[in-house]
Amino acid sequence: MTLIKSISGIRGTIGGEVSENLTPIDAVKFASAYGTWIKKQRNKSDYKVVVGRDARISGEMIQNLVMNTLVGMGIHVVDLGLSTTPTVEVAVPMEHADGGIILTASHNPKEWNALKLLNAKGEFLNGEEGAKILKLAESTDLLFADVDSLGSITKNDAYIDLHIDEVLALDLVNVDAIEKANFKVVVDGVNSTGGIAIPLLLERLGVEAVKLYCEPNGHFPHNPEPLKEHLTDLSQAVVKEHADFGIVVDPDVDRLAFMDENGDMFGEEYTLVACADYVLSKTPGNTVSNMSSTRALRDITEHHGGNYEASAVGEVNVVELMKKNNAVIGGEGNGGIIYPELHYGRDALVGVALFLSLLAEKKMNVSTLRASYPNYFMSKKKIALTPDLDVDAILKTMEAKYSQEKVTTIDGVKIDLSDSWLHLRKSNTEPIIRVYTEAPTQENADTLADKIIEEINSVAGVK
């Protein structure tokens, strides 16, 4: 059982001991710290926070604890109920709220949940702001409201529709072309809120949606991380339904992956590549992704005359660099699309609309589109953290071992080789070391990853 405090929020497993897991007491403690931080930002008479959740079994319990804690601090709450992470991000500025909280552990299994914290712009808190909240959570500097100054809860279930309105109003979303293309798509909503939002979006675009696991009951039918090995049912459904392609999202709908008409993965890394190709063809400019993302985005960006740069892993880091570089699109290779014309947050709804626009205009099937992009293959492996594993020492040793290569250390150790790269880092969301490699063939990527893991185990004294 685990409690992780990081740039990605407060994330943990439900049940168990206080301070070791995400228990009710921990939920109240961190909600109180966040509420205190909100009130320290501006001195005003009324404060408002937007709260939404994915469909996890623990979601309603955690949301009620969080919302009523904020009420106890004199903060008014806008309750979106079942929602998506990007929908809450869109709702915060639309509500003129002081912040927002999404209750979701994203791709983690059902025993996990988390508090993801937003500022008044609807963007994730940066490291400095997050550190202040963690410090407040361990202090007694928490002041609650008297009985005449309690906050209130107002329910608003319109925001998924409002979010879709905003997506469809974007200049680059070619609604007419999509409607004329008569697409048929299978949607795997992993029994969470993607099963609500994605079919609604497709309906508004005139796309026939075949629903697979779209009942938002929190009983994930497979591992919720949208990877090939978890998506056999989607693959079979796409072929059986003679669909144009398949869509899968994670439980909070900020990650997006596609499956082609043959039931083969388009490649989660290539979601951003395709959307960027479309955006750059209309509005040339710069792009940003994180250090663990494919080189294909760099290639596509340079093809369109723009500049590409990589940030540290973590949405807030990508957003910060996108703003600095005036990027027209960016995101993360895990299927996270960030399109600033709408908002600075990973958004599967925007990704679906841009991808459909690209397909409709190019008039080609998904497998042909994938074949048109530079071909790279990635291996993503994990090493479980143990108390005797010194991550910092391992990273320093690996940095020294490959010092003759191009090495970047802003987030773990990234080593660029002539035709491949490897990235080693401690995860923000799981108790693991992530080992990512990319190469011109899958065999080369897997071999490089296995070699690096063997070297790490040797450094750590693991037999």
Catalytic annotation, residues: 106
CB 295 within 8 A of CB 421: yes
Distance CA 324, CA 96 (A): 25
The per-residue b/e assignment along 332-344, b for 16 or more CB within 10 angstroms, e otherwise, is bbbbbbbbeebbb
Sign of CA pseudo-dihedral 55, 56, 58, 59: negative
Q: What does each C-alpha distance from 196 to 116, 216, 258, 410 come to in angstroms?
A: 21, 7, 18, 38
3-class DSSP state of 42: coil
Helix ranges (DSSP H) in 42-149: 59-72, 85-94, 127-137
- Round to whole Å and give the CA distance between 37 and 39: 5
Range list of β-strands (E), 315-431: 327-332, 336-338, 377-384, 406-408, 413-416, 421-426
d(CA 374, CA 365) in angstroms, rounded, equals 17
Q: How many residues does the chain have?
A: 463
Kindly state the DSSP code that residue 426 receives in the 8-state scheme. E
